A and B are shown apart, each in its own frame.
Chain A
Amino acid sequence: MDVWSSLMDGFATALTPMNFLYAVIGVVLGTAVGVLPGLGPAMTVALLLPVTYALEPTSAFIMFAGIYYGGMYGGSTTSILLNTPGESSSVVTAIEGNKMAKAGRAAQALATAAIGSFVAGTIGTALLAVCAPIVVKFAVSLGAPSYFAIMVLALLAVTAVLGSSRLRGFASLGLGLAIGLVGMDSVTGQRRLTFGQPLLADGLDIVVVAVAIFAVGEALWVAAHLRRTPLHAIPVGQPWMGKSDWKRSWKPWLRGTAFGFPFGALPAGGAEIPTFLSYVTEKRLSKHPEEFGKGAIEGVAGPEAANNAAAAGTLTPMLALGLPTNATAAVMLAAFTSYGIQPGPQLFESQGPLVWALIASLFIGNTLLLLINLPLAPMWAKLLQLPRPYLYAGILFFATLGAYSVNLQAFDLVILLVLGALGFMMRRFGLPVLPLILGVILGPRIEGQLRKTLQLSAGDPAGLLGEPIAVGIYVIIGLILLWPFAYKMFRRNRPERRPLIPANSGAADYSD
């Protein structure tokens, strides 16, 4: 079946009245929760997971599509009106967006963000529909050695490339892999890290882990450092754009999309790099460079488009390879597996109609977002005024509810608290959360591929290099890992040294 007819079938499924209703509910819920300060898209999806449990998979995924884009859009509203962004990917939007809002141009900032998200989301989803089957065609020819290598690459790339400290990234990854080990070994049935506790034999439920790290950890962390005087949210009316705003926005939208999609689709993608690149590019190309830093509309239009295109790009490896590359995709993957659906190349074969319905509803959700959110923007802005005690008590309340409703076991809540404390500690000491979540999700699958590979080669480690793609990927992994050391060696030859001891401790200053 070709892409076009599959996609049309997808639209036919997604546009039945009930499924359309779920898409609307998804967009509204996703935006509402995403707008709330402190709630990023990943947490939004994690918290809303239980709502989809009662639905059949197709409807559930249609709702997810809405929640996914809704959560993204909600985040940008928060960063424009409140200035301090919750997600690293909307940091750049906040720079110019909040300046615009302060200058009384909040309506235009929100409008260019919303329309730019729509443009980028639509183009991104179209690229997803075209690219995913190609990736699948390529992926079905890969065997266990290549899969093993690709997954290792994704884990190491996310850990080593993103975040400020690689060491802390690897520490987080190690903890995640250890959490992923808990439970019955899939090959021999041996119990690992269960400490004789029968409830641990099935492993830790990934939904519980995600909710604990994202929601409980975040709520406890914010509670410890709660701003006593909440930030002032800028009131806003109906978003609209004048003629000159359109003229200045459309090129940044398209350029932002071009930055966003490829980066989102890469194993170490994420939205930080493309949003930043887009910002720098717009600043250089703008006819009004003097406005940058004071609220230039190009600086909102470009990064927002890049952000949303990256969100669509992320879904390509997620659906085609079963490889999540950001936190939101990781949580969505968890949702897929809780339905007994394993994303990967076989998914397009075995669950074709479902996948295409999901892609179709991404288009629908994206359009709904524009239609619903432009008129509702003033109402979303009011959500920012929600008293903080209610907000964070509510996060704990719904996190508990969500985690408990998975298995109806109080034991899961104990795990929720313990891992929530871990999430708190990680935020306190700057351990990134993403490597842990990916470690939990990918760890068991990497082990599976490793054992399959060596089983085929009868225990000979050379089997790991059995496919040319795998060899190529190991070369890339080697480059990623060795690059900083090479860089350091280069730097070491220069006479530049920082004092080893804090300046005011009375010791001599070694810098020269």
Chain B
Amino acid sequence: MTSLTTGLKGRSELGVALLLGAAGVLVFLDANGLATPYSKSDPVGPKTVPFIVAGMLVVCAVLLALNVLRGGKGEAEGGEDVDLTHPADWKTVLPLAGAFILNILLIDWAGWVISGTVLFWGSVLALGSRRYVRDGLISVALSLLTFYGFYLGLGIALPAGLLEGIL
């Protein structure tokens, strides 16, 4: 089992090399597309640094790919609540990202109080809490508190959205 999984894990890191390479090409193409007349007051121009960065990214991509193929491996980061003995738990991460995206879609239309409640409630559920009612109440309370706290305390008006006029 170990040789298969380590082999696969080693290969997934090639995706990072791919991403670096793609980013490098993107930076290069973007800079290449800039039209710049030569000017004496700016001999470096806006293209030079992007070209350097692009080169650096591509070189890193190639070296990383070689490193991974030779068996090199990035060390996953540990932490207080991190247990690296089990593989990534996508059943937690994807719903979490879902709650986050829902918040982005809702925030301008429905307002922070609603979207923030959705975000917190959704995240807590995704992370495995099963006390639906208590979690819901905490979510609403947090959103309301931050809404008024930001408005009254910091003078930042978060969008009220659908609840405009009520809040």
A positions within 8 Å CB-CB of B:
37-38, 50-51, 53-54, 78, 82, 84-86, 164-165, 167-168, 170-171, 173-175, 177-178, 181, 185, 187-188, 190, 192-193, 195, 216, 218-228, 230-231, 387-394, 396-397, 400-401, 404-405, 408, 410, 413-414, 417, 421, 424-425, 427-431, 443, 446-447, 450-451, 454-455, 458-459, 500-502, 504-505
Q: Is the CB of A430 within 8 A of B74?
A: yes
A500: chain B residues within 8 A (beta carbon): 70-71
A37 to B150, CA, bound (A): 26
Number of A-B residue pairs at CB separation under 8 A: 242
A392 to B83, CA, bound (A): 15
Q: Is the CB of A225 within 8 A of B88?
A: yes
Tally chain B residues at the interface, Cβ within 8 Å: 84
Q: A170-B56, A222-B79 are in contact. Are A389 and B46 (CB under 8 A)?
A: no
A425: chain B residues within 8 A (beta carbon): 16, 19
Give the shortest distance, in Å, between B54 (CB) and chain A (any CB). Answer: 8
A195 to B40, CA, bound (A): 28
A168 to B45, CA, bound (A): 29
B residues 57-88 near A (Cβ < 8 Å) are 57, 60-61, 63-64, 67, 70-84, 86, 88
Give the shortest distance, in Å, between B72 (CB) and chain A (any CB). Answer: 8
A413: chain B residues within 8 A (beta carbon): 100, 103-104, 107
A173 to B128, CA, bound (A): 35
B residues 20-78 near A (Cβ < 8 Å) are 20, 23-24, 26-27, 30-31, 34, 36, 40-46, 48-50, 53, 56-57, 60-61, 63-64, 67, 70-78
Q: A228-B83, A393-B120 are in contact. Are A223 and B127 (CB under 8 A)?
A: yes
Residue from B24, B76, B99 whose CB has the most chain A CB atoms within 10 Å:
B76
Q: Is the CB of A405 within 8 A of B129?
A: no
With contacts A82-B80, A424-B93 known, what are 11 further pairs, Cβ within 8 A? Answer: A174-B57, A178-B27, A178-B53, A187-B46, A223-B93, A223-B127, A224-B92, A394-B142, A425-B19, A431-B74, A459-B43
A340 to B103, CA, bound (A): 30
Q: Is the CB of A177 within 8 A of B79?
A: no
A379 to B72, CA, bound (A): 44
Q: Is the CB of B49 within 8 A of A181?
A: yes
A414 to B100, CA, bound (A): 9
- Provide a sorted-by-A list of 29 A–B residue pairs whose CB atoms are within 8 angstroms: A38-B80, A50-B156, A165-B75, A167-B63, A167-B67, A168-B74, A174-B53, A175-B57, A181-B27, A188-B45, A190-B46, A192-B50, A221-B77, A222-B79, A225-B83, A389-B127, A401-B116, A405-B154, A405-B156, A413-B100, A417-B97, A417-B101, A425-B16, A428-B88, A450-B48, A454-B43, A455-B42, A500-B70, A504-B3
**Interchain residue pairs A-B with the least CB separation, the first 7:** A430-B74, A459-B43, A393-B123, A37-B80, A389-B127, A54-B154, A429-B74
